[in-house]
Amino acid sequence: MPLPASSKATLTGHIKEVSFKKGHLIIKANKIDQNIYFIKKGLVRAFADIGESEVTFWIGKEGATIISMRSYVEHKEGYEHIELLEDCELYQLEGTILQELFLADIHIANWGRKFAELELIHTEERLISRQFKTATERYKDLLQNNPDFLQRVQLNVIASYLGITQVSLSRIRADVRC
């Protein structure tokens, strides 16, 4: 959502650039982290520990936003880990400052509302895909929407993201190639 120049300047004046190496956990489960990050360069995943395994439920790349919504909205411990899959360059904004900017500038508040609406749509799309599409359909969607993931993300992470085993992913990949 476009912002007037003065609102954009106010917002960007509170953003700082940060860099972290591959493997860094930028957000940790069971911690409150109200920072918001925007990915300038790199790739990240959100996952939860379920028993002995990790379940990846989101992968983000350049242009995506990293946030623990539970921490940000409810000031409670988040349930997700967010791990950098590549060295990343990020823009960081403190959540408390953003809340103050929402109160001070209606344009920034509307920008935040639009962001939240779009994130809700993306979450809904992931939920619907997981519930109603076959694993092959989910894989084909990944190929269509994020073909670069196959070169940038380990296959075990892609399999987890698709909700299947790595063996099933290998079979689907072989079938789709034919």
For residue 178, name the pLDDT band (cuts at 50, 70, 90). Answer: low
- Give the pLDDT confidence of 137-159 residue by residue, as tens digits: 999 999 999 999 999 999 999 99
Residue 51 in domain? yes
Find the range with the poorest average confidence among 37-41, 102-106, 173-177. 173-177
Number of domains in the chain: 1
Provide the pLDDT confidence category of residue 130 given band limits of 50, 70 and 90: confident
Q: Does residue 87 belong to any structural domain of this protein?
A: yes
In a domain, 170, yes or no: no
> Once rounded to an integer, what is the mean pLDDT over residues 36-61?
95
Q: Is residue 45 part of a domain?
A: yes
- Residue 92's H or E segment, with its range, is strand 88-93
> Is the pTM higher than 0.75?
yes
Task: With respect to residue 77, please indicate whether it lies within any of the assigned structural domains.
Answer: yes
Question: Which CATH number does the domain housing residue 64 bear?
Answer: 2.60.120.10
Measured CA to CA in angstroms, residue 27 lies from 24, 52, 89, 131, 162 at distances of: 9, 20, 15, 27, 22
Does the pLDDT at position 115 exceed 80? Answer: yes
For residues 41 and 101, the answer to whether their CB atoms sit within 8 Å is no
User: What pLDDT, on a 0 to 100 scale, did the predictor assign at position 85?
Assistant: 98
Nearest CA-CA partner of 44 in 29, 24, 15: 24
Task: Please provide the average confidence, as pLDDT, over all residues in the chain.
Answer: 94
- How would residue 1 be classed by pLDDT, with cut points 50, 70 and 90? confident
Assigned domain for 28 exists: yes
35 belongs to a structural domain: yes
- Is 157 within a domain? no
Query: Mind giving me the DSSP string for 120-142?
Result: HHHHHHHHHHHHHS-HHHHHHHH
- Residue 2, pLDDT score: 85
50 lies in which domain range? 5-104
